[in-house]
Structure formats: C-alpha cells, structure tokens
Structure 1
C-alpha cells in the first residue's frame, strides 16, 4: 500500500469511528426506552389480571359507601386551608 492509500484508510476509519460515537448514545437510548416500555406493558398486564382476579374473588356488599362524618369534616377543613393560604 502506498502512503496515500494508508492516509485514506486512516481517514475513513476515523470518520467511521466518529460516526459510531455520534450514533451510539441514540441507539443506547432507543434500546433503553424499548426495555422500559416493555416493562410498563408487562406491569399493566399483570395489574389488569390481578384486578380481574380480585373482582372475581371480591364479595359484594349491600352497605352504602357514603363517607363518614369525620371524613366529610376533614375534607372541608383541608379545602378551607388551601383557599386561605
């Protein structure tokens, strides 16, 4: 190989190396995002199946779900604090 060919090869390898260094963070980010998306999707599917299982095993109650007086009073106090401050 002549000196010009070696120079061209070194220049081409340097350019390719810089391209890899520029693209690598993006590729790593894409792979990481896909992994996180897959984990979220699996967690949602697990949660849905757990909720479905709980609904099947849950006993229905004939009692009303009206909040107690203490809960109603506490809610009123909290909203007044937010308005005054």
Structure 2
C-alpha cells in the first residue's frame, strides 16, 4: 500500500503542486522506482506533456503511453482531462 500511495502522491504533485502541471502519460509499475525504504519515485518522463493551466480543463494530444494502462476515454479521444482519475 505504501508504494501505491507514494506513486499516487507523485502524480498528485505533478498535476496539482508543480510550478507547471505535468501529465505523466506512462504510469505503470515498471516506471515506479523504489528507494532503500520502499518510497516510490516516478521515472521515465519521456512521454510527459505540459498539463492544462489556468481555467483550461483538458489538453488535446496524440495518444501516447502503454496500451492497457491508459484511460479508455483518452485512448478514444486523445483528450487529457484534469479530472481523470483512471490511473489512481
């Protein structure tokens, strides 16, 4: 549970607390690294994209990520919405 919570907190930071919002786009177990105390660290930001800023609620993009780990709505529309909690 500690690992899942740590990874979710990392995503929450990227979405809500970072100076510029970041959409990670490749959240999967192989991209979660662990330190000696089993604290989760997100890795592989190669597919990351700037997230919506201000009053914008979505970002349109080419569909990226690993099949089976992306939200079905994202795969179908290519829209990244700020309220998507599929990965959590």
TM-score by length of 1: 0.23
Higher CA-based Rg: 1
Counting strand residues as a fraction of each chain, which structure ranks higher?
2
TM-score by length of 2: 0.22
